[in-house]
Each structure stands twice: as structure tokens, then as C-alpha cells.
Amino acid sequence: MLFHLSQERFDALISESNENYSAFVRLVCDHLRVSIQNLIILRNRRPLQRLAQELRRLAERHGRQTKKGLVIDLRLSQEDLAVMIGVGRQTINRLLRSLEQDGIATTKYASVTIHNLPAIVRLSSIDSVDS
């Protein structure tokens, strides 16, 4: 859900009372705390898990079912995927090749086809962390 408040209305609410200001600060702090916790959890996951999680998210939002599998055709480069999961392009290349060798997914220029969605779900759900 998205809530939009104009700058003028926001300033008016904040200046009305200290309670409004305090409530807003608590809300922002709560959101920041949850975001940082999620980032820590994400960063503790192995790169393959992070890639699988991102592919799963992209498939749910943008995947198109075909005879060959679930196609994510968003014109994402390997560099884009690498930035999204916080690794280098060489690492993403190695991870994508691994998925391809296992028959889980294939990549073509700027698209990914997932052939085995249950495997992607399984990989994205593993709870182990890098040592």
C-alpha cells in the first residue's frame, strides 16, 4: 500500500503537535530497522540463494509461461542481475552457468527462462549461511 502526502500537508501535520512528529519519527525508525534486518539476512545468504530468490521474485512479477518454461524478459543484463544481488558480473556468470548445467534455467541475451521453478523455490528457501 502506498500513501502519498504532499510536502505542505506533511509540514502542517508535523507542526500541529509534537505527537505527530514523534509518531512519524517512530514510523521511519521502525521501517529503517526492518529494512536493515532484512539486508543483514539477505547478505548472509549465499550468492546462489540470493540469485534464486531474485529470479523467483522476478518470475512471480514478470514471468511469462511458455512451452520452454517461465520466461523473464526484462532486458536485464548479467551486470544488472549482479548489482541486484550484490555480486560481481563474473560471479553471476558462474551462477547462471551452474543453473544452466543443472537444467534449472537458461539465459539468453537479456532474458532468463526458468525450466524448473520448484528447484528455484527450493534454492531460494535454503536457510544456510556462508562460513
Q: Is the pLDDT of residue 42 over 70?
A: no
Cβ-in-10-Å burial (0-12, 13-18, 19+) of 14 comes to middle
Output phi, psi for 110, to 5 deg.
Answer: 65, 20
Give pLDDT, residue 13.
87
Q: What is the mean pLDDT of the chain?
A: 88
Quote the percentage of the chain above a pLDDT of 70. 92
Q: Is the pLDDT of residue 131 over 50?
A: no
Give pLDDT, residue 102.
96
Q: Is the pLDDT of residue 128 over 70?
A: no
pLDDT tens-digit map of 45-67 = 789 999 999 999 999 999 999 99
Q: Is the pLDDT of residue 129 over 60?
A: no
DSSP-derived 3-state class of residue 15: helix
